[in-house]
Structure 1
Amino acid sequence: MHTISTTELFLIAMLLIFSVPYLIWRVARTDYYAPLVVVQIIAGILLGPGVLGAAFPDYYAFVFTPAVIQSLNGVAWWAVMLFVMIAGVELDLKKAWEHRRESSITAGLALGSPLLFGCVAAVGMLAFDGWIGREAHTWQFILGVGMACAVTALPILILLMEKLDVLRQPIGQRILRYASLDDIAIWGVLAIILLDWTRVGRQAAFLVVFAVATYLFRKLMRSLQQRDRWYVSLIWLAACGLAADWAGLHYMVGAFLAGAVMDADWFDQEKMDMLRHHVLMVIMPVFFLSTGLRTNWDMGGIAVFGAAAVLLVASVSGKLAGIHLAGRILKWEKGEASIIGWLLQTKALIMIIFVNILLDKHIITSETFTALLLMAVASTMLTVPMVYPKLQKLKSLISRSS
């Protein structure tokens, strides 16, 4: 009798990862409210222990053995490092500086308001057992959940604005500026949350060495032809991820820093767009499944969905309140703040990456992780249905540059 090997089980898992979300996406025609990437995240949850594992525990245990999960995690680590590096490369700080008053006011309120709302929701969660991680200080949990509510998913934002045909329009470029500034703040806050006083020497050493290495790396990249820059950037990515993880800052912080110190004009924009597209299509679905495998419903579906609903309200209302306040200060046209606010409340990928790190560091529990994951999916699914009708009514806003 044939004994199924780990390789065969791994390929069964890969078959599920790619076929299930694609079939749902195509058969249900979800593209308007849930692009393929969102369906892949939902499929990751469905294939996890809370749904597939609960409905078919024997089959789940048969396919997702510890060896298979470890193999999937390895692919997922590299996938998300590539994706985060690309997000870092795509930061456009030069444009943000050119429009610094408008950008700083809008980005500050777009981040600060939902952060405050999310922190209030986190304080409420602390009144109940089971939400805060075993190694978290109270302030780390509150700030972590608050920042998860404030995050804008820059790569998914780009994908949705492409769908709405506004990415290369002035309003799309403005929104990218705001999101880029918030992206820096997100990773800065994460570094504060992860600051480990038992490793503070390592972390200080990492920052010093990284600064020197960045100077040398940038000098090297300018001297290379573009075809070599792509490959050298991958070596740089692996080195930064390793160094950051050794210092206790997490390899994804290193991946973001690796991309942030690279200039976008070192690379062909069309090829960079294709790389992001291919990473999303070829290997990021593995990350979505590995994320789904970490969900937990032990507290009960009602409690988890209830927490997700509270966090969704805090996230969306906080973002819209902050953007509307910015619109008043900057005297935007009627309806403009609503479009920008709904686009900037897009969550998904970056927030999922962010909360994966919080879970790794035991700052949140898997139940909190599950609630935040559900919030991210719902938030992203709201974006296009809310924005598209508004854009049709206010087409003149698309070409407004500031």
Structure 2
Amino acid sequence: MPHLTLIETFLAVLVAIFALPYLVWRLGRTEYVAPLVVVQILAGILLGPGVLGAALPALHAALFPPDVITMLNGIAMWGVMLFVFVAGLELDLKAAWRWRGETGVTAGLAFGTPMLLGAGAGGLVLALDGRAAWVGAEGQDWQFIAGVGMACAVTALPILVLFLEKLAMLRDTLGQRVLRYASLDDIAIWAVLALILLDWERVGRQAAFIALLVPAVLLVRWAMARLPQRDRWYVALVWLALLGLAADWSGLHFMVGAFIAGAVLDGEWFGQERVDRFRDTVLLALMPVFFLSTGLKTQWSAGGWTVAGFAALLLAASVAGKLGGVALAGRFLRWRQGEAWLIGWLLQTKALIMIIFANVLLDKQIITPASFTALLLCAVASTMLTVPFATPALRRLRASDGAT
């Protein structure tokens, strides 16, 4: 290819990031099996070293020199922080508390069952294949096993919101129940991630972060409640950057700080419609860059079939755990027939949050690029299964409502 300047190369990459997934999604009409967000993730994988880099190494090297990768990573980091912040804003903790009995039982089983099966899958792969290919340089076996288990328990709340909108059930009673379960699981996921990342050499910084967090949250909430809505967004962005900085400085991760920054604020302060528009804008304009930068981390160094086999094992643990846990909750709480099957598939969607979770583990060198690739493939596959299984389940449930 002709020699391009740094800016020209960067813009050429942006053209590929935004044009290729859109054309595949629109012309291929993949919405039912692979929504645009899934196609964008797959495009990132295809443009990464595992596919394009292996097939056309010279082209891959020309498109992704170190300076371009640095520029992409900066945009991706801020984009994913905004996205995780909105995921925190979307938590309705008041509703979860109001229905705490039912929510606690369902969320606990939907979280705990796939976590245990996922941890079992992680322990099995270490027993059969050793740790060298899967555990990162800074990771311990228990961190790897716990991290894999947590990844299998994830529900991607922002993508779940998009799917609920697609299925026209976001604002109905059942949709709100699903959001409550996912919200409580999101809190547990990020709390356990913080424990996995606990660095005993930096425990003083982390203790300081936690100690200062409480008065800081009280101060920000006091200020937010008194600010006009137009000012809250500016203050929220400052708060997001500040908490991301503090969390990363403490040895946790800037993503943990981003989630906490949103979770401690009330979404109603920002207006539901504006939050929805903001989330959709971030998803449209910034997150495709994150998907590309994620794809650049995919590797098949442990052997393609080995990675694919681990991904299949994780997918089986994730699906069986989520469906089984929700089925137990439905039996215990005496749900009507068909509800547990539908809710289990809706909570199965992982996509962005599992990928973000895996990125954190990779950044902290708890897992290797091969483990990251297996988790990434599991996240994509589980998300692609959601709508095809949830749609007929919802149709049957609504038909039974009409019959009664």
User: TM-score range, shorter-chain basis?
Assistant: over 0.9
Q: Which residue of 1 aligns with 2:80?
A: 80
TM-score (norm 1): 0.97
Q: Does 1:394 align with 2:397?
A: yes
Counting aligned pairs with the same residue, the percent is 63
Q: Which residue of 1 aligns with 2:299?
A: 296
For residues 201 and 301 of structure 1, the distance between their equivalents in structure 2, rounded to whole angstroms, comes to 42
Deviation (angstroms), 1:4: 2.1
1:79-115: per-residue Cα shift (whole Å, max 9, x none)? 0000000000110011111111100000000000000
Q: Is the 8 A contact 1:40 1:288 kept in 2?
A: yes
Q: 1:329–1:396: structure 2 CA closer, same or farther, 3 Å change rule? A: farther
The yes-or-no answer on 1:379 pairing with 2:379 is no
Q: Does 1:252 align with 2:249?
A: no
Q: Is 1:216 aligned to 2:213, yes or no?
A: no
Bigger shift: 57-66 or 297-306?
Answer: 297-306
1:126 aligns to what SS in structure 2?
Answer: helix
Structure 2 CA distance, aligned partners of 1:291 and 1:389?
Answer: 32
The 4+ residue runs of structure 1 with deviation greater than 2 A are 396-399
Task: Specify the code of the residue in structure 2 equivalent to 1:4.
Answer: L
Q: Could you list the per-position Cα deviations for residues 24-57 of structure 1 after superposition, in whole angstroms to 9, with x for gaps in the alignment?
A: 1011110011110111001000000000111110
Whole-angstrom CA distance in 2 between matches of 1:318 and 1:4: 49
Deviation for aligned residue 1:162: 0.6
Given candidates 155, 162, 165, the residue that maps to 2:165 is 162
In structure 1, the partner of 2:121 is 121
Pick from 350, 367, 370 the counterpart of residue 370 of structure 2.
367
What does residue 106 of structure 2 align with?
106
CA distance, structure 2, for counterparts of residue 245 and residue 373 of structure 1: 23
1:287 aligns with 2:290: yes
Paired AA for residue 40 in structure 1: Q
Query: What does 1:169-248 align with in structure 2 at a 5 Å threshold?
Result: 169-248=172-251
Q: Could you tell me whether the CA contact under 8 Å between 1:169 and 1:398 is conserved in 2?
A: no
Query: Can you list the C-alpha shifts for 1:98-150, whole angstroms capped at 9, x where unaligned?
Result: 11110000000000000000011000111214011111111100000000000
Equivalent position amino acid for 2:76 in 1: A
Matched, 1:322 2:358: no
Contact 1:312 1:379 in 2 (8 A): yes
Contact 1:336/1:397 (8 A) holds in 2: no
Matches of 2:291 and 2:388 in 1, distance apart? Answer: 23
Using a 3 Å threshold, how does the CA distance of structure 1 residues 84 and 118 change in structure 2: closer, same or farther? same
Tell me the CA shift for residue 374 of structure 1: 0.4
Amino acid at match of 2:101: R
**Are 1:261 and 2:261 an aligned pair?**
no
Pairwise CA RMSD: 1.2
Where do 5+ consecutive residues of structure 1 fail to align? none
CA distance in 2 between counterparts of 1:187 and 1:378 reads 22
CA change 1:120–1:397 in 2 (3 A) is farther
Post-superposition Cα deviations, 1:185-227, rounded to whole Å, max 9, x if no partner, equal 0000000000000000000001111211111111111111000
SS at match of 1:394: helix
SS, match of residue 31 in structure 1: coil
Partner of 2:10: 10
Amino acid at match of 1:317: A
